Amino acid sequence: MNISVLLILIFFLASCSVKNPKPPVAKTAEECQSYEPQKVQLEGLLYRKSFPGPPNYTDINKGDEEEIYWLIKTTKPFCVNKSSYVDGDELHGLLEVQLVMSSKLDFYKTKRSLLNKKIKVQGTLFPQYTGHHKTEVLLTVESLEKPD
């Protein structure tokens, strides 16, 4: 057998037996949160933030109404599965979620002492769809409290 043929054969066999490492895989759908009706729990910092509202939703200093919302900055990024709500892929790397609270439950009065503190919030997620929605994903709050 010719030496060059032997070297080619050795190279071929070596390359067949070496597995190429797989690139890191993004979180799978099973590791992501889901939109309503599934309930979720998030932990993070509760804070208030001011946004420009009507008529142009661009700049409070230029006449837009000020809208103040409560948000949570999560302790770690999370993802949300795509659903019938949203065209496109899963949303990854989410850190901020606007909270939507029922006036019936009076969260704005009863939970004000938790502002700028770490909290645990439970509820259901839904995607942004109006000018009043300031984050890609919002959470309808069912409970909001200090973590254990």
pLDDT of 85 reads 60
Tokens of 52: 């420009």
pLDDT of 84 reads 61
On the question of pLDDT at 52 being above 70, the answer is yes
Per residue in 123-145, pLDDT tens?
Answer: 999 988 888 899 999 999 999 99
| Residues constituting the chain | 148
The bridge status of strand 118-127 relative to strand 39-52 is antiparallel
- Neighbouring residues of 74: CB distance < 8 A, sequence distance ≥ 6: 42, 43, 44, 94, 95, 96, 97
pLDDT of 138 reads 94
Domain 29-145 listed as CATH 3.40.390: no
pLDDT of 110 reads 86
pTM of structure: 0.73
Other CB atoms within 10 Å distance of the CB of residue 5: 9
Q: Which helix (H) or strand (E) is 127 found in, with range?
A: strand 118-127
